């Protein structure tokens, strides 16, 4: 068998959805029979596909193919049911993780969990993610004493924004917001009761240890007690926010 390139995750996904051209599928069939690592990768691609389907994160075309080709099997429907349960566990963890990700570094020890009933699973994922994402990726905080929150970009398609919970301190905060494209300029907005106010415009991404982000100070007046949305907008395409986070200041 001639040497072939390793298939991408997306190729495996499209194969599982039976959306690959026959010639490409035939190549994968050969590889699956001969490449010792491919069965595991295929199984992983399938698991990730179920996880994304469970979170409604498939495109319309993918969702249709998923229903048509994967869910014809009762065992696969059970896998989807399990994936939905995984998604809910993750959702709980992500809410907590989001808050943990954005713990102000000047007040780590004073931050309190807002949801007492979080599962133990949530705690452990937070521990791991906090260790990896926070310590490895996040840039250094500014030298001032303003609490700093780092907002990590979410790549979840079709999923709702994560909720950050900030204490109602009445202080300004410093935001470091992860971006996905360093060639773009960005704007930050806070939206309260449907009213959008700009925090900063024409922000140029910075890079620290592979973490691309923009940063800005948010005046305390923009983050009064209550619920807000924080919006990251590509300055060249201001119609739709690139990322959005729910922000709860103080107790809901």
Partner 1 sequence: MNPGAATAAGAFDALLRRLAADDGDPARAYERLRERLLALLRVYLPAEAEALADVVLDRLAKRASEGVVIDDVRSYALGIARLVLQEARLRASRRREAEDDPTLQPDPDASAENEEAERALHGLHACLDTLDAASRAMILAYYGADGGARIRLRQQLAQAQGSTLNALRNRALRLRARIEECLRERLGRRSL
**Sites of contact with partner 1 (CB under 8 A):** 1, 9, 15-16, 18, 29-30, 32-34, 37, 39-44, 46-48, 51-52, 55, 57, 64, 67-82, 84-86, 88-90, 93-94, 97, 119-121, 124-125, 127-129, 131-133, 136, 153-157, 159, 180
* Residues recorded for the chain: 252
Q: What minimum distance in Å lies between the beta carbon of 81 and partner 1?
A: 5
Cα 149 to Cα 215: distance, rounded to the nearest angstrom = 10
Q: What minimum distance in Å lies between the beta carbon of 187 and partner 1?
A: 22
Q: What minimum distance in Å lies between the beta carbon of 39 and partner 1?
A: 5
Q: What minimum distance in Å lies between the beta carbon of 133 and partner 1?
A: 8
Cβ pair 176, 215 in contact under 8 A: yes
| Closer Cβ to partner 1, 81 or 196, answer by number | 81
Cβ pair 184, 201 in contact under 8 A: no
Query: DSSP assignment of 59-127, as one string?
Result: -HHHHHHIIIIITTSHHHHHHHHHHHHHHHHHHHHHHHHHHHHT--GGGGGG---S-TT--HHHHHHHH
Closest alpha carbon to 154 in 114, 227, 97: 97
Cα 181 to Cα 213: distance, rounded to the nearest angstrom = 9
| Closer Cβ to partner 1, 82 or 216, answer by number | 82
Q: What minimum distance in Å lies between the beta carbon of 227 and partner 1?
A: 24
Closest alpha carbon to 118 in 165, 82, 80: 165
| Closer Cβ to partner 1, 98 or 199, answer by number | 98
Cβ pair 46, 32 in contact under 8 A: no
Q: What minimum distance in Å lies between the beta carbon of 176 and partner 1?
A: 17
| Closer Cβ to partner 1, 133 or 203, answer by number | 133
| Closer Cβ to partner 1, 23 or 120, answer by number | 120
| Closer Cβ to partner 1, 180 or 238, answer by number | 180
| Dihedrals phi, psi of 210, to nearest 5 degrees | 80, 5
Q: Which helix (H) or strand (E) holds 231?
A: strand 226-234
């Amino acid at each position: 068998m001639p040497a072939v390139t390793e298939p991408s995750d997306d190729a495996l996904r499209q194969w599982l959805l039976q959306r690959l051209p026959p010639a490409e599928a035939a190549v994968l069939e050969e590889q699956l029979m001969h490449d010792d690592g491919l069965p595991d990768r295929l199984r992983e691609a399938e698991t990730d596909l179920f996880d994304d389907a469970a979170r409604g994160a498939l495109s319309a075309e993918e969702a249709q193919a998923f229903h048509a080709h994967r869910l014809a099997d009762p065992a696969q429907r059970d896998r989807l049911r399990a994936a939905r349960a995984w998604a809910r566990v993750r959702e709980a963890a992500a809410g907590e993780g989001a808050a943990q990700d954005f713990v102000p570094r000047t007040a780590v020890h004073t931050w309190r969990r807002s949801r007492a009933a979080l599962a133990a699973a949530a705690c452990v994922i937070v521990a791991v993610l906090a260790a990896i994402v926070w310590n490895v990726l996040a840039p250094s905080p500014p030298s001032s004493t303003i609490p700093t929150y780092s907002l990590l970009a979410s790549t979840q398609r079709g999923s709702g924004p994560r909720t950050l919970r900030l204490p109602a301190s009445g202080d300004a905060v410093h935001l470091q917001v992860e971006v996905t494209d360093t060639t773009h300029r960005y704007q930050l907005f806070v939206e309260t009761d449907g009213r959008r106010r700009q925090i900063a415009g024409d922000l140029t991404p910075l890079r620290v240890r592979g973490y691309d982000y923009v940063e800005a100070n948010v005046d305390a007046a923009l983050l009064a007690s209550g619920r807000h949305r924080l919006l990251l907008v590509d300055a060249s395409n201001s119609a739709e926010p690139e990322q959005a986070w729910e922000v709860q200041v103080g107790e809901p």
